[in-house]
Amino acid sequence: MTSTASAPHGPEARAPKPPSPMRRPAYRRLMVGWFATNLGDSALYLVLAIWVREITGSDAAGALVFLFIGLPALLAPWAGQLADRAHRRPLLIASNLGVAAVVLLLLLVRGPEQVWLIYAVTFGYGLSAYLTSAAQAGLLRDLLPDDEIGSANGIFTSIDNGMRIVSPPLGAGLYVVAGPWAVIAISVAGYLVMAAMLLTVQIEESAPEPRGAGETSWHEVSAGFRELLRDPLLRLLTIAAAVGFGLTGILNATIFPLIEHGLQAGPAALGPAQAIQGVAALAGGLLSALALRRLAERRFFAWGMTLVAVGSFAAYAVVQWPLPEEWMRWAGIALVQWPIGFGVPWVVVGLSTLRMRLVPRRLQGRTSAAMNVSINVPQMLMLALGTATMAIVDFRWLLLAAAVGIAAAAVAVWMGRAGDDAPASAPTHDGRPTSG
């Protein structure tokens, strides 16, 4: 009588759990702080524009708030340099406490003569966002091994997108009911929560590196851009993201004509339409870690950019061939907003994960800042160009041109070398965190 081997029982029979940063107490606390600051930030920026519009009676004055949020992108490389040359946890604590104090200056605003103070605070807290993003990228690189970076970026991106759905209407509602002071309080509380979370974690940081012999200040500041362009795959994805996100600036410029002709509705319909995109972005962020493990960064990024291109072509279609019924028009807008919302987090997470995996730890801050500049500055420029061009060119042609350009960026990534899909042969993370 022959014996048969029995199947393993107990722990040996269990499949290994996928890597997750959520098992690390330090990451969980950083996530709580990220949630708190995003809740306050997303509520505050819209309320500041509403507040300026109300106390001045000027639409242009209210719109200037968004300019002062965008202008700090020009200083992002210097913020990244500071993040790489300092101990990041103390820098983040000081930054969050400092921006909380800056936001409290809004309590001094009494009327239109203090509008300059609102603009100054807006610029300050916009700049702090680049500094904290750069420093946090380095801190996460010190904390996490390679196989947990994608999940960590996906979770943070999901929080970003979820807060963009919840916080603006929450902030606007609080402003109507209780005035700007309630929104200021929420924003300040968010920064204080993040500072408290950072005070309670212990992370073994990589040591700051001094400036190299003969290295000029400009050479040091621009190191992030050079590093993004050094590796062929990272260079391809960075350029594709700059082109793709730059062209989404045209989509932003044409959003009101899209609503008017595609939905045959007034500007108020923009809120529900953007909510569709927000929900899709939340879903894309939540699924990003699973998809990234299956696809690797290049194909994951390419799928995201392809979805953005699909939504862009759908935008052209719904205005070129208007639909007769209201429900059909809303379905058409959903075909625009859902792929774009779902795809954008995949592009961001794919590029961020590849960057964090390939770049040395003391270049994380500068490359994070360079990546943000590469995405945000072209988008702002194309938004301005698209707005100006609509005066002489039918917006439908702008939509079509943007869709073709985004599709070309996706095709370029799809045509990247097949070998680029292979994961790193060995982890590059050589330090182990002490978290608690």
Q: pLDDT 10s digit of each residue in the chain, 436 long?
A: 444 444 455 544 455 666 778 888 888 899 898 888 888 887 787 788 888 888 888 766 877 787 788 888 888 888 888 888 888 899 999 999 999 999 999 999 888 888 999 999 999 988 988 899 888 888 888 888 888 888 888 888 888 877 777 777 777 788 888 888 888 999 999 999 999 999 998 888 887 777 666 667 777 788 889 989 999 999 999 999 999 999 988 888 887 788 778 877 776 676 677 778 888 888 888 888 888 888 888 999 999 999 999 999 998 998 888 888 888 888 888 899 899 989 999 999 999 989 988 988 888 888 988 998 898 889 888 888 887 888 888 888 999 999 999 999 999 999 976 555 544 433 333 333 333 3
Q: Are 115 and 346 in contact (CB under 8 A)?
A: no
Residue listed under structure tokens 């182990």: 432
Q: Where are the alpha helices (DSSP H) in 321-363?
A: 326-358
Output the CA torsion sign for 303, 307, 313, 317. positive
> 28, 152, 131: which is closest to 429 by C-alpha?
152
Number of neighbouring beta carbons within 10 Å of residue 257: 16
Q: Where are the alpha helices (DSSP H) in 254-325?
A: 255-258, 270-320
Q: Are 249 and 381 in contact (CB under 8 A)?
A: yes
CA distance 266 to 63: 20
So what's the pLDDT on residue 214?
Answer: 65
Task: For residue 25, give Cα distances in angstroms to 143, 146, 166.
Answer: 11, 18, 26
pTM: 0.79
> 34, 61, 49: which is closest to 171 by C-alpha?
49
CA distance 408 to 243: 9
Backbone angles phi, psi at 165, to 5 degrees: -85, -45
So what's the pLDDT on residue 213?
Answer: 64
Q: Are 83 and 223 in contact (CB under 8 A)?
A: no
Count of residues in the chain: 436
The region that residue 264 occupies, defined by phi over 0 for left and psi between -120 and 50 for alpha, beta otherwise, is left
Set out the domains of the chain in order of their start, with CATH numbers: 21-206 (1.20.1250.20), 224-421 (1.20.1250.20)
CA distance 156 to 152: 6
So what's the pLDDT on residue 160?
Answer: 80
Kindly give, in sequence order, each residue whose CB lies less than 8 Å from that of residue 117, ignoring residues fewer than 6 positions away: 105, 106, 108, 109
Backbone angles phi, psi at 379, to 5 degrees: -65, -45
So what's the pLDDT on residue 423?
Answer: 47
So what's the pLDDT on residue 212?
Answer: 67
Strand, helix or coil for residue 324: coil
So what's the pLDDT on residue 42?
Answer: 77
So what's the pLDDT on residue 294?
Answer: 85
Output the CA torsion sign for 180, 184, 185, 187. positive
Rounded to 10 deg, the angle between the 76-85 and 223-230 helix axes is 90
> 132, 131, 136, 129: which is closest to 205 by C-alpha?
136
Kindly give, in sequence order, each residue whose CB lies less than 8 Å from that of residue 49, ignoring residues fewer than 6 positions away: 62, 63, 65, 66
> 422, 410, 282, 411: which is closest to 354 by C-alpha?
422
Residue listed under structure tokens 């690390």: 24
Q: Are 351 and 288 in contact (CB under 8 A)?
A: no
> 186, 169, 171, 170: which is closest to 48 by C-alpha?
171
CA distance 314 to 317: 5
